[in-house]
Structure 1
Amino acid sequence: MKITRLILTVIIPPIGVFLKRGLGWPFLISIVLTLLAYVPGLVYALVIVLGDEKKSGSV
């Protein structure tokens, strides 16, 4: 599942954030950053997806 999430994150960054954190502020921030420019959205999504597993439950 982790590799699938990583591949989806590279293709469409908000999808990876959604799979990791669900609907919420991180998802909305990812959408905005991706719409403004792909690279900032991708970097933000990778930080969320590859970040510490302990933080995945916090909002």
Structure 2
Amino acid sequence: MASGCTFLEILIAILLPPLGVFLHYGLCSKEFLICVLLTILGYIPGIIYAVYVLVSRSDEQPQGDYYAVA
């Protein structure tokens, strides 16, 4: 089940695709860079990729120092 945060990320990803991916993965992630490239090449491919990445990997925690390892 998707959380409210995921819903907001998807809504932002439809309006500004790189921003939605940035909020989930951060600035220097490969997902963000691919999304920026696709959005530059065409707005619709950027939206499709952003929504796909956010929905398909919503259960995984993003890589980085944001979560403490227990």
Normalised TM-score (structure 1): 0.82
Asked if 1:8 is matched to 2:12, the reply is yes
| Equivalent residue, structure 2, for 1:22 | 26
RMSD between aligned alpha carbons? 1.6
Give 5+ residue unaligned stretches, structure 2: 65-70
Residue type matched to 2:55 in 1?
L
Give 5+ residue unaligned stretches, structure 1: none
The size of the alignment, in residue pairs, is 58
Residue type matched to 2:11 in 1?
I
Where has structure 1 moved over 3 Å in runs of 4 or more? none
| Larger RCO of the pair (alpha carbons < 8 Å, separation 6+) | 1
Normalised TM-score (structure 2): 0.71
Residue type matched to 1:45 in 2?
A
1:22-41 CA-to-partner distances (Å, cap 9, x unmatched) read 12111011011001101111
Query: Max radius of gyration: which structure?
Result: 2
Q: Which one of 41, 45, 62 corresponds to residue 57 of structure 1?
A: 62
